[in-house]
Chain A
Amino acid sequence: MSVNEQIEQIVKGNDVVLFMKGTPMFPQCGFSARATAILQQCGSKFHHVNVLADGEIREGVKAYSNWPTIPQLYVRGEFVGGSDIMMEMFQSGELQKKLAGG
């Protein structure tokens, strides 16, 4: 299975997916830590993928979403954004709506 298919399976197989550096317990980058905190603040369950554990996924997900950095959030198969956009949407309440199915 190609990296793209792997990513597609993860993204389509889980409602909320965060590709991040490290894990929610031990984030390895400030932006990944902030993205995790935002999702936890929303009370949202999410599947996380530690891109540091898989170099192919780390590069593959950037091509998949045409987004050059990590973290990356997907909700119901749709790329939502990185930590800046998550923060902006969280502050406007848009993220909570999207996570709740809006």
Chain B
Amino acid sequence: MFHASEIKRLIEAGLPGAVALINDDAGDGEHFSGDVMAPGFATLSLVQQHQAVYRALGRHMGTDIHALQLKTYTPDQWAKSPHAKNGA
């Protein structure tokens, strides 16, 4: 069993200035989804952004965490997204 709060902590610790909103959709501690913003994403391709998040999760990804459906944002995209309006 893994917790959304632990995934959030690992991502925000691993990616400078990141904001991670993680949900345990299935409630099973294995299948998660999340929106992640990080300043560093601005210079990365989509694949590289996701790989950076997976690197922050280290060996947990693909083992404790069976699936993590990711939506990544650059700071600009985040500012234009619904997240910006409700202050997340």
Q: Tell me the count of chain A residues lying within 8 A, CB to CB, of chain B.
A: 14
User: How distant is B69 from chain A, measured CB to nearest CB, in Å?
Assistant: 6
Bound: A69/B69 CA distance, A:
11
Q: State whether A80 and B47 are in contact (beta carbons under 8 Å apart), knowing that A62-B62, A68-B61, A68-B62 are contacts in the complex.
A: yes
Question: For the complex, is A24 an interface residue (Cβ under 8 Å from B)?
Answer: no
Q: Tell me the count of chain B residues lying within 8 A, CB to CB, of chain A.
A: 11
Q: Chain B contacts of A84 at CB under 8 A?
A: 50, 69-71
Q: Chain B contacts of A31 at CB under 8 A?
A: 67
Q: Chain A contacts of B47 at CB under 8 A?
A: 67, 79-81, 85
Interface residues of B (CB under 8 A from A): 46-47, 50-51, 54, 61-62, 67, 69-71
Interface residues of A (CB under 8 A from B): 31, 62, 66-69, 79-82, 84-85, 88-89
